[in-house]
């Protein structure tokens, strides 16, 4: 399938199929693929580029699963580097932000599958954070964690979600999806929930009115066809429920894990994956360039290859930094605003549900944007 035919489909609003997606991966010119994705990005969002003020809490890295790509997990309490926060330690992280006068709107919580914690550990974690800042949005627990709770505590998925929601859960992050193809899952993450189970958790969350994100871990052993198949399965669930807000392609980081012999994906592969995602996932409103994982410069470039969101200020990221990410642990809102502006886009501070918190003059003080990037002329 040539790019002409795909361009016609995209412009006519026709969904792309598996063959189209693979053709986009195989097309010799990534800039042409990127330009088509940028058309869709600008049709949906113009120049607007979203970010939020958030804090990451990884309450424990003790994890029963042995995913080959993971540098964060430790199999047992007591192993070198293993930790589990007390509630007070987790609460102190939010209190520190509140005392610093930092108006964060979201806490992102992702953990290992800890075999020894009671369900109350999680409900009390959520409830305690809400007591400190009732307005905070808690985006917590990947579908893999929710499925683990369902098995471990013997409750239906809907009941796990309902009890967490009652304690303060507001939405689900998109992690744990990896690659849905059984061939890949069997090799890299055989001992956690299947693709269907991951999708079932998100379906149940959407039915309850909770929104969620979705991800794809790329750049390890998967093929282009398996990447596109993954996107198509997400798109099918989105057709059914409409509950996904954002798709986040996660580039594999090879340090300190069992797949460390593999090279990390190149910048061109990163940008192409953003573009293919924007084109295939026409029904998911946002594509997030997670700067922590991509690096700030590639994330800026991705804003011209389909992405319209940079994630947030973050503070203390562990999963990628233990896997070799060299990005800073946090960007201030003023820095994010400058990063977006210097990429030639317009920053918009959002909350987790994409309500606008601030834009234009109301945003953090900043140096003037270099808005002339589109008008650069070749010097004589
Ligand atoms: O599920 C783990 C990935 C995910 C590595 O929803 C790795 O807004 C690359 O869920 N190299 C967790 N990736 C992160 C996550 C997330 C992140 C940002 C935003 C959102 C959101 C969700 O991190 C895991 C796994 O797919 N991961 N190890 C690694 N070595």
CA of 175 from ligand 1 middle (Å) equals: 5
Which protein residue has the closest C-alpha to ligand 1 atom 17? 175
Which atom of ligand 1 approaches the CA of 217 most closely?
A: 26
Whole-angstrom distance, CA of residue 370 vs CA of residue 345: 10
CA of 110 from ligand 1 middle (Å) equals: 9
CA of 325 from ligand 1 middle (Å) equals: 12
User: Using 50, 70 and 90 to split pLDDT, how confident is the model at 1?
Assistant: low
Q: Report the pLDDT averaged over residues 244-250.
A: 98
- φ/ψ (deg, to 5) at 78: 95, -20
| CA-atom Rg of the chain in angstroms | 20
Residues 198-224 have pLDDT tens digits of: 999 999 999 999 999 999 999 999 999
Whole-angstrom distance, CA of residue 251 vs CA of residue 324: 12
270 half-sphere exposure, CB direction, 13 A CA radius = 26
Ligand 1, from 54, 175, 288: best to mutate by most atoms within 8 Å of Cβ? 175
Please name the residues in contact with 295: beta carbons below 8 A apart, sequence gap of 6 or more. Answer: 325, 326, 327
CA of 306 from ligand 1 middle (Å) equals: 20
pLDDT of residue 364: 60
Q: Report the pLDDT averaged over residues 321-325.
A: 77
327 pLDDT more than 90: no
User: Using 50, 70 and 90 to split pLDDT, how confident is the model at 372?
Assistant: very low
- Residue ranges lining ligand 1, Cβ < 6 Å: 69-71, 110, 142, 173-176, 178, 213, 215, 217, 248, 250, 252-253, 257, 290, 311, 319, 323
CA of 197 from ligand 1 middle (Å) equals: 18
Residues 137-156 have pLDDT tens digits of: 999 999 999 999 999 999 99
């Amino acid at each position: 399938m040539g790019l002409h035919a795909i361009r016609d489909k995209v412009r006519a609003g026709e969904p792309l199929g598996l063959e189209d997606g693979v053709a986009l991966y195989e097309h010799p010119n990534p800039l042409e693929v990127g330009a088509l994705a940028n058309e869709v990005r600008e049709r949906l969002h113009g120049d607007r580029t979203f970010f939020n003020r958030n804090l990451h809490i990884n309450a424990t890295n003790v994890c029963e699963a042995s995913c080959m790509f993971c540098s964060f997990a430790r199999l047992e309490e007591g192993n070198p580097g293993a930790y589990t926060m007390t509630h007070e330690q987790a609460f102190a992280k939010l209190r520190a932000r509140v005392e610093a006068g930092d108006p964060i709107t979201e806490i992102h919580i992702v953990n290992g599958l800890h075999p020894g914690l009671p369900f109350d550990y999680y409900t009390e974690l959520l409830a305690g954070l809400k007591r400190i800042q009732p307005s905070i949005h808690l985006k917590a627990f990947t579908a893999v964690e929710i499925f683990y709770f369902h098995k471990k505590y013997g409750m239906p998925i809907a009941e796990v979600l309902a009890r967490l929601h009652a304690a303060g859960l507001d939405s689900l992050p998109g992690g744990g999806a990896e690659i849905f193809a059984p061939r890949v899952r069997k090799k890299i993450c055989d001992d956690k929930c299947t693709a269907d189970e991951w999708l079932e958790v998100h379906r149940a969350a959407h039915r309850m009115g909770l929104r969620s994100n979705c991800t794809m871990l790329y750049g390890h052993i998967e093929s282009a066809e398996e990447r596109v198949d993954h996107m198509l399965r997400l798109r099918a669930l989105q057709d059914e429920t409409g509950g996904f807000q954002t798709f986040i392609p996660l580039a594999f980081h090879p340090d300190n894990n069992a797949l460390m012999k593999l090279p990390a994906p190149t910048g061109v592969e990163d940008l192409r994956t953003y573009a293919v995602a924007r084109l295939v996932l026409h029904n998911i409103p946002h594509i997030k360039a997670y700067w922590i994982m991509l690096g700030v410069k590639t994330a800026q470039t991705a804003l011209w290859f389909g992405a319209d969101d940079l994630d947030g200020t973050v503070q203390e990221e562990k999963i990628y930094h233990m896997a070799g990410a060299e990005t800073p642990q946090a960007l201030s809102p003023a820095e994010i605003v400058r990063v977006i502006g210097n990429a030639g886009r317009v920053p918009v501070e959002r909350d987790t549900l994409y309500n606008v918190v601030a834009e234009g003059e109301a945003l953090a003080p900043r140096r003037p944007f270099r808005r002339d990037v589109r008008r650069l002329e070749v010097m004589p």
